[in-house]
């Protein structure tokens, strides 16, 4: 995996190609001891940056990817992933956090992206045409946001990945690829173990795609409650995530 150095701080923010750090991001990250690298991994339909922050120990074999706000109105995990990013330095795992996968939906507090596509139905595994709230797009990976996450996950090839959602209040530990880790996370994150079927048969989700294309890795879907407290989002959940990997800060 490539490693990119931190860009020189400048007063002018530039839009850089995938994989490089913008000067503005470099300046901000100097105040975040947990952050060791910042990357813009893609852009939304409306041109908003999709940013990933690398935390912890880059040489660790425990490589982790944490995704939030794939649905723009599911905002709880954004606080959790930003708390991980903005806190003290982390040791014992190599962690990438993408707090906002769907920045256009997040800006408007909508489930879908700017083209009214549900990004968590736009991945290729099990994709089928669907409309309404779970509009799957005109074809698999039709959306720039889902393509950005596909490229990034394929590049870093995480050993563990968590896709955070709301509001179903549970953690699905079936077929995760690492049951021991799933049970540790379930115990720490204080959510009941449940089976999620997307209110019907799941199709085109990130977890389905990741499971198929990264069969040696583990993936878990975490559904937070509708209105978790700030204490839970900013203290309990971040601590639970780190403990599940035996990482510390």
- Give me the pLDDT at residue 25, please: 45
- Pairing, β 35-43 against β 49-56: antiparallel
CA distance 2 to 157: 12
CB 218 within 8 A of CB 182: yes
Query: Locate tokens 């923010």: which residue?
Result: 13
HEC per residue, the chain: CCCCCCCCCCCCCCCCCCCCCCHHHHHHHCCCCCEEEEEEEEECCCCCEEEEEEEECCCCCCEEEEECCCCCCCCHHHHHHHHHHHCCCCECCEEEEECCCCHHHHHHCCCCCCCCCCHHHCCCCCCCCCCHHHCCCCCCCCCHHHHHHHHHHHHHCCCEEEEEECCCCEEECCCCCCHHHHHHHHHHHCCCECCCCCCCCCCCCHHHHHHHHCCCCEEEEEECCCCCCHHHHHHHHHHHHHHHCCCEC
- Give me the pLDDT at residue 46, please: 98
Q: What is the pTM of this model?
A: 0.87
- With CA atoms as reference, report the closest residue to 242 among 60, 111, 106: 60
- Give me the pLDDT at residue 7, please: 35
One digit per residue, pLDDT tens: the chain, 249 residues?
Answer: 444 333 333 333 333 444 444 444 443 467 899 999 999 999 999 999 999 999 999 999 999 999 999 999 999 999 999 999 999 999 999 999 999 999 999 999 999 999 999 999 999 999 999 999 999 999 999 999 999 999 999 999 999 999 999 999 999 878 788 989 988 999 999 999 887 766 557 899 999 999 999 999 999 999 999 999 999 999 999 999 999 999 999
Give the count of beta carbons closer than 10 Å to the beta carbon of residue 150: 20
CB 77 within 8 A of CB 232: no
- Give me the pLDDT at residue 132, please: 93
Cα-based distances in Å from 7 to 10, 155, 226: 9, 21, 39
Cα-based distances in Å from 51 to 35, 139, 227, 229: 13, 25, 25, 25
> Domains of the chain, with CATH numbers?
59-244 (3.40.630.10)
- Give me the pLDDT at residue 177, please: 87
């Amino acid at each position: 995996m490539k490693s990119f150095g931190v860009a020189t701080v400048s007063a002018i923010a530039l839009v850089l190609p995938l994989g490089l750090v913008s000067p503005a991001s470099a300046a901000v990250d100097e105040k975040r001891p947990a952050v060791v690298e910042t990357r813009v991994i893609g852009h939304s339909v409306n041109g908003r940056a999709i940013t990933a922050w690398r935390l912890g120990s880059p040489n660790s074999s425990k490589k982790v990817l944490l995704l939030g706000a794939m649905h723009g109105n599911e905002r709880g995990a954004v606080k959790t992933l930003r708390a991980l990013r903005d806190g003290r330095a982390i040791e014992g795992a190599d962690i990438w956090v993408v707090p906002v996968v769907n920045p256009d939906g997040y800006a408007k507090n909508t489930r879908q992206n700017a083209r009214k596509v549900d990004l968590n139905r736009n991945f290729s595994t099990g994709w089928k045409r669907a409309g309404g709230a779970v509009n799957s797009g005109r074809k698999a990976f039709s959306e720039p946001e889902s393509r950005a996450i596909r490229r990034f996950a394929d590049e870093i090839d995480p050993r563990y990945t968590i896709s955070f959602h709301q509001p179903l209040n549970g953690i699905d530990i079936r077929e995760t690829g690492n049951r021991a880790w799933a049970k540790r996370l379930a115990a720490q994150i204080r959510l009941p173990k449940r089976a999620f079927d997307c209110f019907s048969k799941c199709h085109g989700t990130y977890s389905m795609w990741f499971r198929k294309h990264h069969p040696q890795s583990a993936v878990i879907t975490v559904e937070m409650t509708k209105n978790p407290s700030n204490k839970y989002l900013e203290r309990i959940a971040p601590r639970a995530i780190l403990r599940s990997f035996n990482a510390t800060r």
